[in-house]
Amino acid sequence: QAKEAGRNAYVRFADWMNDSAEQQFQLLADLRRAIGTEQLFLHYQPKTRVAGQSVSGAEALIRWRHPQQGLIPPDRFIRLAERSGVINDIGRWALNEACRQLRVWHDAGHDGWTVSVNLSPIQFASPTLLHEVREALKTHHLQPRRLILEITESAVMRDTEASLTLLQAMAALGVGISIDDFGTGYSSLLYLKRLPATEIKIDHAFVRDLENSSEDVVIVSAIVALGHALDMDIVAEGVETAGQRAYLERLGCDYLQGYLLGRPMDPERFMQLHDLPRPRVEVAAGWKAHAR
Ligand code: C2E
Ligand code: MG
Ligand code: MG
Ligand code: MG
């Protein structure tokens, strides 16, 4: 009886594996077809300054509306895209689309806003990335410092010397470099010292229990001290409650991101929500006064 059950279990397992591989194969085929269509689009989540509570810009987050399966979150297809190399096409599109959108916002008077674009480790290894970044800025007439590239620690650690060289070239361009999901990778403090990063994003994981965990308070405050000592801005992500916000502000974070401050949303809504309260000329002067 046990033997029978075991055999059935094996068969089910094998079927499940086949189905899964097949599903992934199908999903990848669908993803390839989705590139260049409206199935792929970007949502934008506000990044808010602690000082003055004003929006400083947005993080672009990719979305895929599959014709049959509906909305598929990036955590489900980015890995697939990375394994197949399709991520280079998707990433190139996302970079250009985010820059195009920022140009629209700047033209509407929000000329101090920045846009943050997530880069995959795979893209990071591409020899054409630097050129693509330069072209995107040129095409959309953007000052380099209005673009922030988000990279994860693991991406940077993968190929240390080559990554450093590329990062230094991008930093020389003047774009912002943000270390995303900070604290979850394989941080080497020695390495951090050599990174031309302009920003650290403290991962959700350290923000979630901040109100109840003295350990997390200590960790966040250490990251803030470290980042500031290295002349980097500190962004906290995943801020969901007023209590978390109060802690993060007290601990010295410069920027906050999270559902409390705004969910990722489409670009039209993003601008409606942050509509200019006064005529353009006046406001533009106001933004300049705020600029760092
Ligand atoms: P990430 O860059 O760390 O982005 C933050 C994620 O947290 C986003 O998930 C965002 O929607 C979510 N989030 C924001 N605020 C809150 C909050 O208060 N609570 C909670 N629970 N979550 C919050 P999303 O959009 O599903 O993206 C997941 C990951 O997919 C991103 O993590 C990023 O690594 C990757 N990703 C997204 N867009 C792109 C892209 O264009 N290119 C690449 N290579 N990766 C992308
Ligand atoms: Mg990010
Ligand atoms: Mg993150
Ligand atoms: Mg993440």
Each residue's pLDDT expressed in tens, for the chain with a length of 292 residues:
444 444 444 444 444 444 588 888 999 999 999 999 999 999 999 999 999 889 999 999 999 999 999 999 999 999 999 999 999 999 999 999 999 999 999 999 999 999 999 999 888 888 899 999 999 999 999 999 999 999 987 766 666 788 788 889 999 999 999 999 998 876 667 777 788 999 999 999 999 999 999 999 999 999 999 999 999 999 999 999 999 999 999 999 999 999 999 999 999 999 999 876 655 555 554 444 444 4
Give the model's pLDDT for residue 201.
Answer: 96
pTM (predicted TM-score): 0.89
Report which bound ligand comes closest to the CA of 61. 1
CB of 75 closer than 6 A to ligand 1? yes
Q: What is the number of residues in the chain?
A: 292
Q: Which residues of 51-84 are buried (b: 16+ CB within 10 A; e: fewer)?
A: eeeebbbbbbbbebeeeeeeebeeeebbebbbee
Alpha helix (H) residue ranges in the chain: 2-34, 74-84, 87-107, 121-124, 129-139, 153-158, 160-173, 189-194, 204-207, 214-229, 242-250, 267-273, 280-290
Strands 55-66, 40-49: pairing kind? antiparallel
Report which bound ligand comes closest to the CA of 40. 1
Give the model's pLDDT for residue 184.
Answer: 85
Give the model's pLDDT for residue 277.
Answer: 62
**Residue 149: DSSP 8-state:** E
Cβ–Cβ < 8 Å for 56, 270? no
The alpha carbon of 74 and the centre of ligand 1 are apart by a number of angstroms equal to: 7
CB of 240 closer than 6 A to ligand 1? yes
Give the model's pLDDT for residue 278.
Answer: 55
Q: Is 212 helix (H, G, I), strand (E, B) or coil?
A: coil
Q: Which residue has a Cα nearest atom 23 of ligand 1?
A: 238
Cβ–Cβ < 8 Å for 195, 232? no
**Residue 211: DSSP 8-state:** T
CB of 74 closer than 6 A to ligand 1? yes
CB of 178 closer than 6 A to ligand 1? no
Say how far apart CA 257 and CA 202 lie, in whole Å.
Answer: 10
Ligand 1 pocket mutation pick from 31, 41, 61 by most atoms within 8 angstroms of CB: 61
Give me the residues paired with residue 126 across strands. Answer: none
Say how far apart CA 83 and CA 27 lie, in whole Å.
Answer: 13
Give the model's pLDDT for residue 65.
Answer: 98
CB of 259 closer than 6 A to ligand 1? yes
Give the model's pLDDT for residue 193.
Answer: 79
Say how far apart CA 274 and CA 254 lie, in whole Å.
Answer: 19
SS3 content of the chain, % helix, strand, coil (to 5): 55, 20, 30
Give the model's pLDDT for residue 113.
Answer: 98
Cβ–Cβ < 8 Å for 63, 40? yes
